[in-house]
Amino acid sequence: MVSSTRLAVVLGLAVLSGSLVQARFVIEQGGLKISFPKAAAKAHPKGFDMSLANFGAPKYGGSLMGKLVYVDADHGHPNTCIPSCNYACQPFSQASPPFKLNPSTNPDRPGQRTNYIMLVDRGPLEDDMAPCKFAEKVWNAQEAGAQGVVVVNYEDKHTTMEAPDDQDEISYRYLRNITIPAAFITKSDGQVLKDLFKKTPGNAQPDDVYVVLDWNDVLPRARKVEWEFWTNSNDMCGAVCDVQKEFIKEFVPVARELEGNWTRFTPHYIVWVCPESYRSSDECQSQCIHNGRYCTPDPDGDLLAGYSGKDIVQENLRQLCVFKLANESGVPWKWWEYSTKFGEQCKMVDNQYNEECAERVFNELEGNTWSSLAKLRACIGDVAADADNALLESEMKRQRGNSDTGEVYILPTIRINDGQYRGKLSYTEVLRAICAGFTRNAEPKACMRVAVDDSCRDGSLGHSTCAARKDGKTKCQNTFSGYECVCGPGFILHVGEGGKEKCLNINECVSTEAADLDPKCTCERCACKDTYGGYECIANIRDDCAHDYAGCWRGDFKVNGKSQTFHACKDNIALYKDAAARGKPLEDIPLHSCTCPPCFTEYMNNGKMECVPKCDLATCDAATGICSGGFGGSGGLHSWAVVLIVFACLGVVGGAGFVAYRLRLRSAMHQEIRAIMAQYMPLESQEGVNGELAMPRSPATNGAVPHTDV
């Protein structure tokens, strides 16, 4: 984009004067396929080659499917433009009637926008009409609502659609605003597409035509992407220079992120040469270093005023050295920082484009412990020397390229894995292209920021494939080059033996802080139920005991002279909550059970459970049921504790002896209970043999003692 015409009289690009080889030009191509109508897709299974434009936003590593539109009177669009609308040389808003593509919704995929790809013709070629620029056509199509443009050539040849050069300030301004991709196809391929719109006999309305533009395999792929950026330290080239500066600045953080493990980047600078016979001329002395060997055209075109080409080659060489030193120290991204700072602080307009400013910037680089000014100066060497400079020689060699890579002849140029990048110089587009240079599905994370298509939207293959997974990887996650299925929400990845992956259910009820759970799960009479892949809240859990103790035993007792109600209804909410949290079935868990309170002993009265105090309730701890002090000795529990300890110690004591001991103890207990009951309970049914109290069967005796009840 830097014009080499101004001083072409003297200077030549290294590539032209350096060899007799004809300038090679490699055209980068992607693929265009018809996806609908089906018959047409079948007739052209391989699709067509499309050449990438050198501007706009190609979707490297991705594809774009859209409805093809051709604004032409013979193809259903009776709008009038000058020249005809199919050339797209006039804003479509000025057509008569104005033409606008509406992002209508696709009836097959609700909520999804239809992409439009506009087919336009190159030209016009008629003598009385100047053909308009490619970028102008693309701009007009974008303004009319297209998401992509396909330009049809007027002959059966391919070419790269170039951006207008920097002298055309007007088109350069909208050039930066082009956000859609543009492709170029041959005349005959274009004709195939146009024919699809033709009405066929008996078919009044031709089918809609859908095509896919594919940029997946434009660039070679590699595990580690090597890429180069051909630039220039000149900052007096208007919009072109501004764009380069802006790009470098934006790219600093991502360069740092990718450099080393993922990418290997090298900056390059185009070198011009002065023919041998002119080396001593004023032109060459002013524009070159190393006695005419390495040159750059004068930035302002005036050899006598302002900065000269020499200043620029010298700074280019310094920047090459900054990279060399940084790269040797394992911090190649420092070049990005240096270039950004130099561009900001050492401007030609401020009269600061000089060695002093450059060295100050170099010294001020953050954490510059990796190199010194002395090293930098040594790398640059004597620029007046009449000798070759190794760094610049290798630049010129690289610039010439080889039969695969082609030459570099415009600035800026980016090559990725030795393939030429086409598209505008912007962070998003370049990063996307770099990402498309990685082995498929091995792209670094940074690439997700520029992923093109959403392979996970509703109804997509990714969405349905993941949804059907049995291992829990039901969530579709977009990747740079497609999608992957990952553990869905509520699951966590578990890597088992042999690296076998499985998604395990997360128990939210247990692992989530109560405050983060739905309050409907955490209230007093609520439960959190773990489910596969989530959790449910069970609210308003019934309190059975609130309704007449659910029919369980109840009794009024005087404790320390005060009447108190005791009951056997036990609320099972805690048990219920616990089972829910463990995801266990809840049907078998009763919400209450009839269990005597701690200070009571259970007995069956006519098949009905009833409770009786163990001891004087005033001496019984209501929480633990331990009786202490009071009359009648130290309650049963103490005796039992002793028994248990004795039993534990005398584990070898014969069973019979022990049973005898137990029996004796129990009879003592009966006496005790009877005494208590007689004192505290209105014993209505004091009927019994020998005036004995109808003794309830103590649960502890468990039938081992002969019954005395009726």
Is there a cis peptide before residue 37, judged by omega within 30 degrees of 0? yes
**Dihedral (CA of 442, 445, 446, 447) sign:** positive
CB closer to ligand NAG, 232 vs 327: 327
Closest approach of ligand NAG to the CB of residue 277, in Å: 33
Which tokens hold the place of 671?
């006496």
CB closer to ligand NAG, 270 vs 521: 270
260 is an interface residue for ligand NAG by CB under 6 A: yes
Compute the distance between CA of residue 710 and CA of residue 693 in angstroms, rounded to an integer.
Answer: 10
Give 648-676 as a 3 state SS string. Answer: HHCCCCCHHHHHHHHHHHHHHHHHHHHHH
Binding string, residues 559-588; x marks residues near ligand NAG by CB under 6 A:
------------------------------
* Contact pick of 96, 177, 679, 686 for ligand NAG (by CB under 6 A): 177
Closest approach of ligand NAG to the CB of residue 246, in Å: 13
Query: What's the alpha-carbon Rg for the chain, to the nearest Å?
Result: 44
User: Which residues share a beta bridge with 653?
Assistant: none
CB closer to ligand NAG, 159 vs 266: 266
Number of residues that bind ligand NAG (CB under 6 A): 8
Closest approach of ligand NAG to the CB of residue 174, in Å: 4
Give the range of 40-48, 171-179, 288-296, 465-473 binding ligand NAG by CB under 6 A. 171-179
Closest approach of ligand NAG to the CB of residue 488, in Å: 29
Three-class DSSP category at 664: helix
CB closer to ligand NAG, 394 vs 686: 394
Closest approach of ligand NAG to the CB of residue 426, in Å: 12
Secondary structure letter of residue 73 according to DSSP: G
Instruction: Provide the residue type at 279 as one letter.
Output: R
Give the range of 170-178, 481-489, 599-607, 643-651 binding ligand NAG by CB under 6 A. 170-178
Whether residue 688 contacts residue 677, with contact meaning beta carbons closer than 8 Å, is answered with no
Is there a cis peptide before residue 58, judged by omega within 30 degrees of 0? no
CB closer to ligand NAG, 263 vs 572: 263
Give the range of 123-131, 260-268, 311-319, 448-456 binding ligand NAG by CB under 6 A. 260-268
Which tokens hold the place of 270?
């185009």
Instruction: Provide the residue type at 123 as one letter.
Output: G
Give the range of 60-68, 97-105, 172-180, 186-194 binding ligand NAG by CB under 6 A. 172-180
Q: Which class for 317: exposed (0-12), middle (13-18), buried (19 or more C-beta within 10 A)?
A: buried
CB closer to ligand NAG, 177 vs 686: 177
CB closer to ligand NAG, 379 vs 591: 379
93 is an interface residue for ligand NAG by CB under 6 A: no
Residues 389-448 that bind ligand NAG (CB under 6 A): none
* Contact pick of 22, 102, 261, 277 for ligand NAG (by CB under 6 A): 261
Three-class DSSP category at 690: helix
CB closer to ligand NAG, 266 vs 417: 266
* Contact pick of 109, 113, 173, 638 for ligand NAG (by CB under 6 A): 173
174 is an interface residue for ligand NAG by CB under 6 A: yes
Compute the distance between CA of residue 567 and CA of residue 297 in angstroms, rounded to an integer.
Answer: 103
Give 630-654 as a 3 state SS string. Answer: CCCCCCHHHHHHHHHHHHHHCCCCC
Residues 297-336 that bind ligand NAG (CB under 6 A): 324, 327
CB closer to ligand NAG, 142 vs 478: 142
Helix, strand, coil distribution of the chain in percent, nearest 5: 35, 20, 45
Compute the distance between CA of residue 655 and CA of residue 652 in angstroms, rounded to an integer.
Answer: 9
Three-class DSSP category at 194: helix
CB closer to ligand NAG, 256 vs 554: 256
CB atoms within 10 A of CB 702: 9
Give the range of 37-45, 258-266, 459-467, 591-599 binding ligand NAG by CB under 6 A. 258-266
Give 153-174 as a 3 state SS string. Answer: CCCCCCCCCCCCCCCCHHHHHH
Whether residue 230 contacts residue 269, with contact meaning beta carbons closer than 8 Å, is answered with yes
By CB under 6 A, name the binding residues for ligand NAG.
Answer: 173-174, 177, 260-261, 266, 324, 327
